[in-house]
Amino acid sequence: MSTFSTERQTPTTSDGLPAAPSGGAQRPPVPHTWRKRRERLTAGAFMTPAVLLVAAFLLAPFVWTIYRSFFSDSRTTPFSWFDNYSLFASDPALARSIQNTLMWVVGTVVLPFVLGLAIAILSNTTRWSRLARLCVVLPYALSGSAVAVVWNFMLTTDGAVNQVLTNLHLDSLAQGWLLTWPGNTIVMILANAWQATGVAVILFLVGLQSIPPETVEAGALDGAGSWQQFRHIVLPQLRPVSIIVIGMSLVNGLKSFDLIWVLTQGGPGRATETLAVSMYNETFLELRPGAGAAIAVVLTVIVLAASWLYLRRQLDVKGE
């Protein structure tokens, strides 16, 4: 930051060279402290609307949510200490919700990363790359709800997937894809990967195209095979992009909601709920805002902690 400030204060010519010192005939020098104060005030004025909006619509509700989570859901809402948080130990639906959330995190991190990287590498060099890229990226442009509607058409018991299996005389494989756990959660993770892979492909393609070809050529001249070139030359240079892809997928996995809500509404029997769906369910359907607030707090802490731990470690390494 100090370097940046110094640069800003050094007058330069249009070609970037330091300008000659200006003569004393120009405007009188502004007192240093006043200029500093004015800059701070200006910066503050620009920041104020954003700070107020964040405080009003993000921080204040968050503080209220933490406060509410310590109160019971009975009519008089007495202070109940950690009773709402103890539901995580006593309510089997919440235990299943945590299981599902973990499955979603693993699925949404691994699948888009692996598929995105593979498709980006394959489509970066092949002749049909543009068409292939378009096909993969297109689902990313769809909303989660629209994706869910399409997959619902395919996955219901009398849906397209089972009809295809029946026509292929594979009736034994036909089943209620959205009815039994953990199969229903797994197919929803796959549906999510179908959509989320597009953005990973775009990011990896940007990363691949920024790799200097000389580095790969130098490896080839030194006798490195294709796999060795990828493993030791390409992959390390994709590290910054990988950090972003994994970081985004991590957070998306933890807060997955729309696809699940449209496909199963967390059912049947609350079997496909993630923490985000449980939070909504407890608050608005079960009419237990205290329990919903406790889930919201736990989910927020997990998202923040996971993001912070992951990004701190990765960005430190990157910034060395």
Q: Which of 105, 148, 178, 245 binds another protein (CB under 8 A)?
A: 178
The 272-311 contact track toward another protein, x by CB under 8 A, reads ------------xxxxx-----------------------
Amino acid at position 30, single letter = V
CB closer to another protein, 7 vs 158: 158
Of the chain, the end-to-end C-alpha distance in Å amounts to 17
Query: How many angstroms separate the CA atoms of 224 and 221, rounded?
Result: 7
Distance CA 123, CA 137 (A): 12
Segment interacting with another protein, rule: CB under 8 A, options 10-18, 73-81, 97-105, 228-236:
73-81
| Interface of this chain with another protein, residues 86 to 125, rule: CB under 8 A | 93
Least Å distance, CB 157 to another protein, is 4
Q: Which stretch binds another protein (CB under 8 A): 70-78, 104-112, 163-171, 234-242?
A: 70-78
Taking CB under 8 A as the criterion, the residue among 66, 142, 179, 244 binding another protein is 179
Q: Does 68 bind another protein (CB under 8 A)?
A: no
| Contact assessment for residue 11 and residue 19, using Cβ atoms and an 8 Å cutoff | yes
Could you tell me if 101 and 88 are in contact, meaning their C-beta atoms sit under 8 angstroms apart?
Answer: no
CB atoms within 10 A of CB 223: 7
Structure tokens at 171: 């009736």
Residues 138-157, interacting with another protein (CB under 8 A): 156-157
Under rule CB under 8 A, residue 48 binds another protein? no
Residue 270 within binding range of another protein, rule CB under 8 A? yes
Pairwise CA distance, residues 116 & 242, whole Å: 10
Residue 21 DSSP one-character state: P
Q: Enumerate the β-bridge partners of residue 12.
A: 18
Task: Write down the least CB distance from residue 285 to another protein, Å.
Answer: 5
Separation of CA 38 from chain center: 38
Contact residues for another protein, defined by CB under 8 A: 74-76, 93, 156-158, 176, 178-181, 265, 267-271, 284-288
